[in-house]
Amino acid sequence: AQSGTGQLQEQKKGLLIAVSASVDKIISHFGAARNLVQKAQLGDSRLSPDVGHLVLTTLCPALHALVADGLKPFRKDLITGQRRSSPWSVVEASVKPGSSARSLGTLYGQVSRLALLRSSRSRFHAFILGLLNTKQLELWFSSLQEDAGLLSLLYLPTGFFSLARGGCPSLSTELLLLLQPLSVLTFHLDLLFEHHHHLPLGLP
């Protein structure tokens, strides 16, 4: 059992390492700026498309893997009996009015109305871009982590967020620490960047 737990922890650390590597790349993209205005220009996907590519090819997949980890494949649904789960359905479930911050609900509404985003993966990516724009990445992960009822509904006990909530709180602390530097940067990312640049990421 011990070595099983060890293996599990190693696998979760692997998920965090991918996030960390991506954050490092993004921070170094901003390294050349001499002041806050130049920094803001480097975070604008229209002036600096590189930042859009960087976020979509490194950070989005790393966070998608994290949110997908240990997700139960289906959720009971009143109408259809059951619905397939995905990181985007985690977003949907996490922004119920009252349980989380109103600003997260506003962003969720904005992304849901983007008819050009057809796959649930591209919606999840757009939500991450929006969290960067509004400097709410930590807030969303923190609100997910706080919602014990939701986590037990959506995740297996071996999932990253279940473990972070239960036996391994350091996972949660470490994730928030990794994301913190991104909140200092100003992003102005086109939520439809992936669609406009025809990036081949839009798997279902």
Residue with tokens 């737990």: 5
Q: Which of 109, 146, 177, 181 binds a second copy (CB under 8 A)?
A: 146
Helix, strand, coil fractions of the chain, as percent rounded to 5 = 65, 5, 30
Q: Is 134 in the site for a second copy (CB under 8 A)?
A: yes
Q: Is 36 in the site for a second copy (CB under 8 A)?
A: yes
Size of the site for a second copy (CB under 8 A): 25
**Which residues on neighbouring strands pair with residue 77, listed in sequence order?**
81
Q: Is 118 in the site for a second copy (CB under 8 A)?
A: no
Q: Phi first, then psi: give them for residue 81, nearest 5 degrees.
A: 90, -55
At 143, list the tokens. 């609100």
CB of 152: closest distance to a second copy in angstroms?
18
The DSSP call for residue 167 is: T
**Residues, the chain, total?**
204
Q: Which of 114, 174, 186, 195 binds a second copy (CB under 8 A)?
A: 186
Q: Is 129 in the site for a second copy (CB under 8 A)?
A: no
| Sites of contact with a second copy (CB under 8 A) | 35-37, 40-41, 44, 46-47, 100-103, 133-136, 138-139, 142-143, 146, 183-184, 186, 188
